Structure 1
Amino acid sequence: MSIQCNSIDVSDYCTQITSNPDISGIGVRLALYVQALLSMSISSFLWDNEKAFRDTCRNSYVVSGSLTIATLIAWATDELSLFDALITSMLTTLMTTFVAVNGTYIHSLGLSINLACLIFTSFWCYWGLQVWANVSTFGLPLGAQNCTANEDTRFVVLGHSVHATNGRLRAFAMFIFALGVVSALHALWVTVSWVLRYKYDGPQESKRDAAEQLARRQRLRQERGRGSQHVVRFGGLVGLIYLIVTTEQMVAWNPDVSQALRDWSFGQTLALIMLAQQIFDCASYIEETRRVRRKQAQHASNQSRV
């Protein structure tokens, strides 16, 4: 994702709610929404296709990580408003929902995926804490006086519009991202454990042992019933829908930016191109899984006749 060269005057960041279409545009938002829903669907319906889950998970980290890097670049060049920062934190939180629901499976997939999980979680925590710790002054020009842009920026909580600088909202957001630090430390521990496994047992043996342990846990869950698993996945889907609806409400209820974000940009085109490839891949995974399951059903039927 690229960063546009904005023609906005620096003073506008002080008095107006500004936006960057390459970061918060409809194309970027749509790509993240569909990516999150694809990832959740793959993990729910193609749970026995490890390649599908691994590739979808990797793509999710790439898309979310690209958005985070683009946002950090804009922030470093003083071309990022509080509104764009909040939208980025909402969009990347979509990925954390997927990770929370599928953490056990992700931890069994080897070093590369868990290293990606560690990097993403660390960046997500860092970014969220940076934004909310300085929410009243974030993105404002240094030394500027009587700035109103951040106070005018609206955030949405359970369908209600509140000022983004609200003290209670800030405290709650800081608490959530502080909890994310615990997840980042856990991801660090899992990554280090994989490094040690690779060193002493080798990559193939380590992955085989992890797959066998995961298979045993899944069999135990099936014996106990799948009710709890369905509840967790349903909760994750509800969380995704809430984040999507809330993000769109934030765009709609900040009228200074809703019109600007309808403009198209190269970053949005790139995000949708990446999404198109992932949709094609998912279609091939579905067909592949269907063939495998059909063969398994035929084999089981033949065995029962013997």
Structure 2
Amino acid sequence: MFANDCTVAFNNNPDISGVGVRISFYLQTFLLVILVDRSWEDAPSALYTLIATSGGLQIAAIVQAKSSKLTLLQALQVSNLVWLANFGAFVALASYSRQKAKNNKQDPDAAKRRGKLLDYHVKYVAMLQTLVSMALTLYMWLTAKTFGPEAQCSSLLRYVFFVIRAPALGSGRLAGIAISVLLAVVYIYVTAHELRSSYLKRNQGRQRGNSPEVRNSTTSVAYHLPVVARPTHLRVDFNSSTDQLPQDTRTSSPESIKRATRRRSKKRRWSKDLDPMFVGILIFYAMVLVYFIVSTELLMVFNSSDDDAVKEWGFGQILAILVVIPSAISVTNALAEHGFKRLSKPKRGREPDTRVTT
């Protein structure tokens, strides 16, 4: 319970931090990371959905701030949800680039069929949205002492770093500024490096396409060296895979050699199709998701008020949940089709030479 003159500072806005909005962000970001890695062709539409949701939340917060109705507590809640979306988009874009590069190696004409819109524009929109959110977060922390209505009551707020509470205008503000600046610098560096690499690759591709050799070449000539057969008495049948087999299998029949090879490979059969990169991405983002969920929920608990509007389910809360349904269906279908296995099989060595020497 707070004094009457500080009641507004601790009120919650259901359109910004309602239970439906929070659940929607938690589910959307996690489902996006899974969907992009398992079915990367659906990445652009899923990313645009998350970007639109995050951008809409920021626009709503800006409109509230313009009319002096956005408190510092509400701005902190928006910041947590938007930063969660930023991390989700960043991880999803990294996974999308990885899967797209693999597919382009297997099918060089795939990018032309998809078009540049799906390959590049979603990346630029996500980068722009992330940079805008970083700028707004930094502005919020720098003006925290005078931010929103009843700014004199902001000194009572407690900001939460996972389970650690800190005064919102004291150590919490200093830590928020430092972390925001650090993440902004790192993200700008990574973004600039990515844009430069993309530009160099496209420029290199255009130069190869415009080179005189490529323009003037209409046919390709393949030269084959003659195959000279060695005398039978000089042939040596050697294979590293069969040479490592037990001595009794080197002179055995081909069937026994295959059985011995299969027996030796059964020990690691359970994990040979598991995608370690996908598992690593899930573990990393699960840690990020847990941090933001705990921080956001405890932020509301430690700064609670008598206003129960944030717990009410209105149209905005239900609409936020409905947005998650298409992503949930896509993730279910992708996992049913691919599971956790590798989407592209790793390169294998040559088959063992099963010829028996006499």
Taking structure 1 as the reference length, what is the TM-score of the superposition? 0.70
Shift in alpha-carbon separation, 1:78–1:201, aligned structure 2, 3 A: farther
Gaps of at least 5 residues in structure 1 are 1-10, 142-146, 206-222, 298-306
Q: Which residue of 1 aligns with 2:212?
A: none
Shift in alpha-carbon separation, 1:73–1:257, aligned structure 2, 3 A: farther
Q: Which residue of 2 aligns with 1:263?
A: 312
1:80 Cα deviation from its structure 2 partner:
0.5
Give CA-to-partner distance per residue, 1:44-78, whole Å, 9 cap, x none.
xxx25221334333322222122112111211221
Q: Distance in 1 between matches of 2:188 and 2:306?
A: 33
Q: Which residue of 2 aligns with 1:135?
A: 144
13-22 or 241-250, which moves further after superposition? 13-22
SS at match of 2:169: coil
SS at match of 1:139: coil
Q: Distance in 2 between matches of 1:85 and 1:257?
A: 19
Q: Which residue of 2 aligns with 1:22?
A: 15
1:264 Cα deviation from its structure 2 partner:
2.9
Gaps of at least 5 residues in structure 2 are 101-118, 210-271, 346-358
Taking structure 2 as the reference length, what is the TM-score of the superposition? 0.61
Query: How does 1:69-148 map onto structure 2 within 5 Å?
Result: 69-107=59-97, 110-140=119-149, 147-148=151-152
Query: How does 1:1-306 map onto structure 2 within 5 Å?
Result: 16-43=9-36, 47-107=37-97, 110-140=119-149, 147-166=151-170, 168-182=171-185, 183-184=187-188, 186-187=190-191, 190-191=194-195, 194=198, 230-231=279-280, 233-256=282-305, 259-289=308-338
Shift in alpha-carbon separation, 1:280–1:226, aligned structure 2, 3 A: closer
Shift in alpha-carbon separation, 1:65–1:27, aligned structure 2, 3 A: same
SS at match of 1:280: helix
Give CA-to-partner distance per residue, 1:103-127, whole Å, 9 cap, x none.
5334566211211221221122112
1:229 Cα deviation from its structure 2 partner:
6.9
Q: Distance in 1 between matches of 2:335 and 2:281?
A: 23
Does structure 2 retain, via aligned residues, the 8 Å contact 1:39–1:98?
yes
Shift in alpha-carbon separation, 1:246–1:198, aligned structure 2, 3 A: same
Give 1 or 2: higher helix fraction: 1
Give CA-to-partner distance per residue, 1:79-138, whole Å, 9 cap, x none.
111111001111111123224444533456621121122122112211210111111221
148-157 or 51-60, which moves further after superposition? 51-60
Quote the RMSD (CA, aligned, Å): 3.8
Q: Distance in 1 between matches of 2:149 and 2:140?
A: 12
Give CA-to-partner distance per residue, 1:165-199, whole Å, 9 cap, x none.
12x22222112221233314543564576578668
1:265 Cα deviation from its structure 2 partner:
3.1
Q: Distance in 2 between matches of 1:263 and 1:14?
A: 19
Does structure 2 retain, via aligned residues, the 8 Å contact 1:87–1:247?
yes
264-273 or 18-27, which moves further after superposition? 264-273
